[in-house]
Structure 1
């Protein structure tokens, strides 16, 4: 281990520095490089045995401390601590590199399919002219046959016509080409691109231990089969394999009928199919990789059913849920029956919705509340008296009141050996929270600091968790110390939404976002109804945002604990509705294209007089009851911190024919979603509330983006941890500005009161949004 810290003569860095290697963008070359890196990391042995029995949080802390140090600095540590830090970092590097390889593999397989789809589209466009030509040939042949009843003369006429249009051989080739591009089965076009991947994917399969998470091992057996036959030169293999994992499109290519009778397997298509299917089932959790952090079997991370049993009664009592499967299903079913019939009965008297002749739902638009003359005058007076402040002054003021910087310090836990640490922490927060970066910030703060000093504080004294703790202090004081935010909201409601930040492409997080038209990642924010930001997280563009809704709610450890969450279209899916319900969270998203949404009947016999056309299917209550215990096991594991809700929802967010937990959560989600939709369409005040709250989080994006004015709006660091920290820094800066605004507005309102102005609380709460605060702090 000590030799790792010594720089070799032919290198600028020691091998210790290689432990910190970051994954680049998911190209085939970078996948090969990452596989080589993992093989090198594993040459030191599996570090799991050395960290056995140590809490995961402790290992991560040691790894983070080691990562922040240089080899030269580590050499000055005592040997026991030095070895502990190096082993922790090596273990962390092995785990993360395996995850990165798997993630890169999944993205490359997705790219293969996208390229194949593009090839099919291109071929269809290219063959359009050939198709038109063949139609004209066929038309000429029909005319020739129509002109002469004599078969022999008609035959000669057809041959003559075909020769005029080109050789018969060429026409046959054109027919085959057009036939190949017929339909939407693009899988045939994967093979030419797969050839360059083949050797790398087999290396990956040898390196990673793929396992089935169910009794269905057909796909794993197929992987073993192609590994055993990888060196065969024949393109055909005997039909001796269970191909139940194939869909119809793959089966038409993989299993081919022989001319002499019987069937055989196309080896090349089977290889492409198996690796494609492994990537798909890794997403759904039907395939796992042993010893990984993100792709291990999540079921092994759940608390056992024996541990769950004594917890269920108290947990269900706390949330007012039945603690037996049958009772749970019965109550929910009765609730859906009663509420749906109530909405049906009230339909003729509800002027806010109607159903057209095609059975489509139409919701009445509501008018936005107009601000009163008094409210507009009050805003004008406040804006006139609002003091001008800069961001550093605001950070200093809020630090004086709250002492948020007390959470920053060396990762080792020792006292900071910095001259005037509070000043350094404030300047560091300004530099990264406004996305200036150390170099740009140092140029603006002439003489007060240097780029190296700022970078040092960021690397050695600040972590994501420390930023969460600092922001939490501000949130708690904001909620406890002021009356003004209580006029805007109680903190029991919140909204979530994401906004894209541009980032460089040399990392695994960056993806192309069609809606935003660029490469980046999503800053996902949880915003309370009183405008304060409760939690932020940086997520990939390609992930459905609903996956992270529950996670950001659970990660929020402040005194403000919402039980109702609003979101936009991306913030909903049936499994999310199910899990939110079992966790006591009311999920109430904004619904786009309500006329296309499906409502579900409680039973096949249930009919309605007025709203029957809205219902498209029936809920499978038996499936929910059969897997209620599995669902509760997942929920209790999430509540006890054994597993991340985002990990569970990533697995449950992908359709799986094997995963009964996915199927049960989907059925439960249908029931909860139908109850919500019935309330949504019948309650105009709820729709106004949802719009109001989601508008707040959208306004926060502009507000926080305005404060993120450095670096041309681009997050330039390729380290995912540093990217996450920049989003957290920005949240911290945004919350300090909101805090300062409330202090100033409160002071102004008190001054106006002393001057004799009569201030109505409704005027204060009517039109106060980030837009107003943003204008006021300009």
Structure 2
């Protein structure tokens, strides 16, 4: 049976606040009049109103005995009835008559065969796309509500969903298996048997994770892909399955051991195996490309470092050559008739190594003048040569545009892989490569242009890396490096959505009008800033045209605030982390989102206790073994690991976070800190071991690790997080974090630092209705763009260095909308798109259009930034909040010496989510404790200023115990929360 807690099926809460009772369960005058009209007598009148309000909330009629006393008492009080007036139905006929009257009043139909047929069709269709019973139940509920039917009982829905889901899955399994011959079936079954020499099955090899990027590991991964491809082309067998279904079956297969796989039915077993093999093939191609890109980046970096080293070494040589030149000039400058210049020059050259040595030294200096390190690449590339050739003989690359010059050059490259000579004899079109590369690769000899093999190889592999990043070429049967354009909605699908979307965001629906509005916005903003410049005392433009912002005076902390903070620090009750998680779960029931992957009820003993202890263990990065040692035998490390792997998913952690955020958002104290319209994003490094593909060395922080990229609301709570590699441009994830945030707090303004912006990000955020307002380091170096060449400004003209190409935006207006609507519909993620659009492309017009639109939006922002001191202060305050959250959340990551031990990318992401769950739980509990302390202080006659309360922060840790034995008492019930607590504002 599916867990009702993990569905949207309406049910009564554990307790109700006065505010909730008043808002939800207070009968209106119209409802009271309706009750008086259809009933006779005070008792019937009262009974019907209770039933009506409950039905309005739940959508179905519960058992009379299940209705909470708090609701009954509240309605009795509102109706001003005597306390002894009870709620009960003596006669079933009266109850039936009241239900019929309520359905008629609310225009809702009783659930019948027609309603069952309706949701049967919806569930069957949805079961082809999703598998979790809770999700299918939610789909059915949504359809029932939309069609205005009374909700059937949960057991009815659960039985129907399980029956239909099983039926659909059996059809899928049968369809897949019908395509397999007996020999291949036996081969798949053999994957579950252990190798003869070791106690390990090939099934475990299907789950193999990549190690850190290196030449040897690249070779190992190529061998792994070779083995995977010997298992056959899997895609044809899975043609009838959606991507979501394949992903679910793959996750289920990953969670099962080989022996557990053997215990399930053969049809399901084989389908799960095929999904796992297919996903392993696709992911391995992605891993290989990722490793190739990292190795190419490393090769280029080593060559750049070598060039810098050569320059330092050549400084002595340069000084020597200048000295020789000086001596030569002195000889020729001597005004002595009898002197013999030639003999003197020979003497000078002989003393400094001879003419040939001097010429060699001159050639070396000429070779490495400027920034051209390309001649040095071969030294670092040659050891990778065979691996790269093997890789691209396996990977099939395709051009995503009609310009396929690079793909043809790769074909030439591969066809000459056996050559060891200096030249290649095949003609190749290299018109797409830059002038420095052409100068190096193409050599003119006796009116014939030759291609230098070594430099040609490095050149082509370098361009392959660049175009894989930009999406100008794609990898067949890949996911991260597939052609993202194929994932976009077609323009025919987009057209019906354009008008409503543009109206929602206030955009014109025609390209000409859109561009005209943009141009007016830039023109008016620039003119306004130019006009106000003489009165703007916070910015000065120097004679060289460089803008300089004056620092505002720092705000001094008031004495009353210091006093209030000191008193609060003394009064805050001491808390244990596990007790905090227990209390917050009681208030929010966030553990309802944890349970078996099947979606059914948990069969674990004391499941809530297990879930809370697991959350604590991984949220504090303790590790299962270390945590179990401090739990006095309550659970073992194996139990903790089992719950983490089988019962708590990324989806469940995100849903649990939403529950805490939503409950936090209604607390009155949080409204003083922010209204939820603004958020900030920033990353902080977490240490990792080296043996995984995500881990990279971070120059700024030092050491290997990844970046936890947090989105934090203006009210201090964390909304969403990603775990990304070091070196990734963080702006790629800034929009996706807002789109994936499903809480009640939905910011429309996002702040970040320099890493959180680029022109494509400015463009995409604007088209999604998000205002990007980053704090940019060295913003003076960015280019301001004027509306047209003719526009000149009196005071700020020197800021502008470029002109907007409006025609480019107008031409690709429909393409821009197509991308945005595809993101909104979930067809493609914004981070995948921005990974492509964040890299320069000479042939991708979509990238160029996004860049041009971003130039407009960023110029408008920069003009506002330099002219509005309050805006700059707001940006600084918000980015300070997210930086404070980074430190606050890391305070709880005290286990494992701060190193995330897992090499599994999914587990690494889960560790960050666990950490957010612990941090948000503490933030919530701190607000509860702060509120209680403030109320107690007011009772004692202590008064405070509203400004002082607004300056408080929930990032308090001095009262929290992190160490000791980790025990939990679920019988200790915390006090109920009351959102209407009057704090005097």
SS of the residue 1:398 aligns to: helix
Shift in Å, 1:425? 0.6
The reply on whether 1:97 has 2:281 as its aligned counterpart is no
**Contact 2:331–2:345 under 8 Å retained in 1:** yes
**Contact 2:250–2:275 under 8 Å retained in 1:** yes
The reply on whether 1:286 has 2:472 as its aligned counterpart is yes
SS of the residue 2:527 aligns to: helix
Which of 696, 709, 722 is 1:524 aligned to? 709
**Contact 1:527–1:535 under 8 Å retained in 2:** yes
Name 1:225's counterpart in structure 2.
Answer: 412
Name 2:168's counterpart in structure 1.
Answer: none
Name 1:721's counterpart in structure 2.
Answer: 906
Q: For residues 294 and 426 of structure 1, what CA distance do their matches in structure 2 show?
A: 35
Gapped regions of structure 1 (runs ≥ 5): none
Which of 674, 680, 685 is 1:495 aligned to? 680
Name 2:664's counterpart in structure 1.
Answer: 478
Q: Aligned pair count?
A: 774
Name 1:388's counterpart in structure 2.
Answer: 574
Name 2:941's counterpart in structure 1.
Answer: 756
Q: For residues 372 and 183 of structure 1, what CA distance do their matches in structure 2 show?
A: 56
SS of the residue 1:59 aligns to: helix
Name 1:265's counterpart in structure 2.
Answer: 451
| Higher mean C-alpha deviation, range 703-712 or range 152-161 | 152-161
The reply on whether 1:618 has 2:803 as its aligned counterpart is yes
**Contact 1:513–1:519 under 8 Å retained in 2:** yes
Shift in Å, 1:448? 1.4
Shift in Å, 1:175? 3.1
| Higher mean C-alpha deviation, range 537-546 or range 261-270 | 261-270
Residues 58-109 of structure 1, C-alpha deviation per residue, up to 9 Å, x if partnerless? 2222211211221111111121222222222111111111100000001111
Name 1:19's counterpart in structure 2.
Answer: 206
| Higher mean C-alpha deviation, range 723-732 or range 360-369 | 360-369
Shift in Å, 1:130? 2.5
Which of 401, 416, 420 is 1:214 aligned to? 401
Which of 776, 781, 784 is 1:591 aligned to? 776
Shift in Å, 1:148? 7.0
Distance 1:611 1:149, change over 3 A: same
Distance 1:564 1:776, change over 3 A: farther
Shift in Å, 1:776? 5.5
Which of 670, 676, 683 is 2:855 aligned to? 670
Residues 233-279 of structure 1, C-alpha deviation per residue, up to 9 Å, x if partnerless? 43223473211121122111100011x22211112211111111100
Q: For residues 779 and 414 of structure 2, what CA distance do their matches in structure 1 show?
A: 49
Name 1:51's counterpart in structure 2.
Answer: 238
Which structure 2 residues correspond to residues 613-652 of structure 1 after superposition, within 5 A?
613-652=798-837
| Higher mean C-alpha deviation, range 86-95 or range 493-502 | 86-95
Q: For residues 176 and 723 of structure 1, what CA distance do their matches in structure 2 show?
A: 51
The reply on whether 1:177 has 2:360 as its aligned counterpart is no
**Contact 2:596–2:602 under 8 Å retained in 1:** yes
| Higher mean C-alpha deviation, range 553-562 or range 753-762 | 753-762
Pair member with larger Rg: 2
**Contact 2:577–2:960 under 8 Å retained in 1:** no
The reply on whether 1:110 has 2:297 as its aligned counterpart is yes
Name 1:159's counterpart in structure 2.
Answer: 346
The reply on whether 1:533 has 2:718 as its aligned counterpart is yes
**Contact 1:696–1:769 under 8 Å retained in 2:** no
Q: For residues 652 and 279 of structure 2, what CA distance do their matches in structure 1 show?
A: 20
Shift in Å, 1:620? 0.7
Q: For residues 342 and 631 of structure 2, what CA distance do their matches in structure 1 show?
A: 91
Distance 1:696 1:686, change over 3 A: same
Name 2:953's counterpart in structure 1.
Answer: 769
TM-score normalised by the chain length of structure 2: 0.77
Which structure 2 residues correspond to residues 651-730 of structure 1 after superposition, within 5 A?
651-730=836-915
Name 2:87's counterpart in structure 1.
Answer: none
Shift in Å, 1:681? 1.3
SS of the residue 1:774 aligns to: coil
Which of 604, 607, 624 is 1:438 aligned to? 624
Name 2:33's counterpart in structure 1.
Answer: none
**Contact 1:547–1:646 under 8 Å retained in 2:** yes
Distance 1:590 1:776, change over 3 A: farther
The reply on whether 1:348 has 2:499 as its aligned counterpart is no
Shift in Å, 1:165? 2.5
Q: For residues 700 and 623 of structure 2, what CA distance do their matches in structure 1 show?
A: 28
Name 2:788's counterpart in structure 1.
Answer: 603
Q: For residues 337 and 364 of structure 2, what CA distance do their matches in structure 1 show?
A: 33
Q: For residues 103 and 4 of structure 1, what CA distance do their matches in structure 2 show?
A: 28
Residues 415-457 of structure 1, C-alpha deviation per residue, up to 9 Å, x if partnerless? 2221111101100000000010111111122211111111111
Residues 117-172 of structure 1, C-alpha deviation per residue, up to 9 Å, x if partnerless? 12222222223323322222232233333347779932233223322332333333
TM-score normalised by the chain length of structure 1: 0.97
Which of 553, 564, 579 is 1:378 aligned to? 564
SS of the residue 1:722 aligns to: helix
Q: For residues 546 and 318 of structure 2, what CA distance do their matches in structure 1 show?
A: 39
SS of the residue 1:764 aligns to: helix
**Contact 2:619–2:911 under 8 Å retained in 1:** yes
**Contact 1:492–1:562 under 8 Å retained in 2:** yes
**Contact 1:145–1:158 under 8 Å retained in 2:** no
Q: For residues 647 and 638 of structure 2, what CA distance do their matches in structure 1 show?
A: 13
Which of 549, 554, 557 is 2:734 aligned to? 549
Distance 1:17 1:195, change over 3 A: same
The reply on whether 1:458 has 2:640 as its aligned counterpart is no
Q: For residues 154 and 625 of structure 1, what CA distance do their matches in structure 2 show?
A: 70
**Contact 2:751–2:879 under 8 Å retained in 1:** yes
**Contact 1:501–1:523 under 8 Å retained in 2:** yes
Shift in Å, 1:180? 3.0
| Higher mean C-alpha deviation, range 557-566 or range 127-136 | 127-136
Instruction: Give the number of the structure with larger relative contact order, counting CA–CA contacts within 8 Å between residues 6 or more apart.
Output: 1
| Higher mean C-alpha deviation, range 196-205 or range 698-707 | 196-205
**Contact 1:703–1:770 under 8 Å retained in 2:** no
